[in-house]
Structure 1
Amino acid sequence: MSELRFEGVTVRYGRALTAVDGVDLTVPSGQVVGLVGESGSGKSTLARAAVGLAEPADGQILLDGVPLHHRPGARRPLQMVFQDPYSSLDPRMTISDSIAEAMPRGPRADRRDEVVRLLELVGLDADRISAYPGALSGGQRQRVAIARALAGKPEVLIADEITSALDVSIQGTVLNLVRTLQRELRLSMLFISHNLAVVRYVSDIVAVMYLGRIVEVGPAHDVLGNPQHPYTKELLAAAPRRGSTSLPPPDEALVADAEPADPHHPPAGCRFHPRCPIGPLIRTDREHCLTLDPTAEADHRLHRAACHHAAGALRAVGPSPLMELKEDSQ
Structure 2
Amino acid sequence: MRVRYGGRRGLTAVDGVDLRVPSGKVVGLVGESGSGKSTLARAAVGLSPVSAGRVLLGGVDVRRLPRRRPLQMVFQDPYSSLDPRMSIGESITEAIPRGRRRGAAAEIARLLELVNLDPDRAGQRPGQLSGGQRQRVALARALAGRPEVLIADEITSALDVSVQGAVLNLVRSVQRQLGLSMLFISHNLAVVRYLSDFVAVMYLGRIVEFGPAAQVLADPQHPYTRDLLAAAPSAHRSLFDVRADEPAVLADAEPADPHHPPGGCRYHTRCPIGPLVRTERDLCLRADPAEAAPSRRHAAACHFSEDETPGLVIPGGTGA
Instruction: Indicate whether the TM-score tops 0.5.
Output: yes
The residue that corresponds to 1:184 in the other structure is 177
The residue that corresponds to 1:209 in the other structure is 202
**CA separation in 2, counterparts of 1:97 and 1:289?**
54
- Compared CA separation, residues 97 and 311, structure 1 to 2 (3 A): same
Moved over 4 A (4+): 106-109, 241-251
Mark the runs of 5 or more structure 1 residues left unpaired by the alignment: 1-8
Provide, for residues 188-232 of structure 1, a one-character-per-residue CA deviation record: whole Å limited to 9, x for no partner.
000001111111110000000000000000000010010000000
Give 1:51-90 correspondences, 5 Å limit.
51-69=45-63, 74-90=67-83
Residue type of the partner of 2:293? A
Give 1:22-41 correspondences, 5 Å limit.
22-41=16-35
- Compared CA separation, residues 250 and 28, structure 1 to 2 (3 A): closer
The residue that corresponds to 2:162 in the other structure is 169
The residue that corresponds to 1:12 in the other structure is 4
Residue type of the partner of 1:282? V
- TM-score normalised by length of structure 1: 0.91
State yes or no: 1:269 paired with 2:261.
no
The residue that corresponds to 1:6 in the other structure is none
Residue type of the partner of 1:177? L
**CA separation in 2, counterparts of 1:155 and 1:113?**
21
State yes or no: 1:123 paired with 2:116.
yes
Residue type of the partner of 2:179? R
Kindly state the Cα deviation for residue 92 of structure 1 after the two structures are TM-superposed. Answer: 0.1
**CA separation in 2, counterparts of 1:247 and 1:104?**
51
Kindly state the Cα deviation for residue 75 of structure 1 after the two structures are TM-superposed. Answer: 1.2
Q: Of the candidates 241, 244, 254, which is equivalent to residue 249 of structure 2?
A: 254
The residue that corresponds to 1:229 in the other structure is 222
Q: How large is the Cα RMSD of the aligned pairs?
A: 2.2
The residue that corresponds to 1:142 in the other structure is 135
The residue that corresponds to 1:295 in the other structure is 290
Give 1:89-100 correspondences, 5 Å limit.
89-100=82-93
Residue type of the partner of 1:287? D
- Compared CA separation, residues 80 and 269, structure 1 to 2 (3 A): same
Q: Secondary structure in 1 aligned to 2:216?
A: helix
Residue type of the partner of 1:268? G
**CA separation in 2, counterparts of 1:188 and 1:259?**
34
Residue type of the partner of 1:266? P
Residue type of the partner of 1:14? G
- Compared CA separation, residues 218 and 248, structure 1 to 2 (3 A): closer
Provide, for residues 257-296 of structure 1, a one-character-per-residue CA deviation record: whole Å limited to 9, x for no partner.
2101110010111000111010111111111111111000
**CA separation in 2, counterparts of 1:82 and 1:70?**
24
- TM-score normalised by length of structure 2: 0.94
The residue that corresponds to 2:189 in the other structure is 196
For these two proteins, the number of residue pairs brought into alignment is: 316
State yes or no: 1:309 paired with 2:301.
no
**CA separation in 1, counterparts of 2:233 and 2:74?**
27
Contact 2:241 2:311 (C-alpha < 8 Å) held by counterparts:
no
Kindly state the Cα deviation for residue 252 of structure 1 after the two structures are TM-superposed. Answer: 3.7
Q: Secondary structure in 2 aligned to 1:101?
A: helix
**CA separation in 1, counterparts of 2:101 and 2:201?**
44
Kindly state the Cα deviation for residue 77 of structure 1 after the two structures are TM-superposed. Answer: 0.7
Kindly state the Cα deviation for residue 57 of structure 1 after the two structures are TM-superposed. Answer: 0.7
Q: Which is richer in strand?
A: 1
Contact 1:251 1:282 (C-alpha < 8 Å) held by counterparts:
no
**CA separation in 2, counterparts of 1:181 and 1:107?**
21
Provide, for residues 158-208 of structure 1, a one-character-per-residue CA deviation record: whole Å limited to 9, x for no partner.
000000000111111000000000000000000001111111110000000
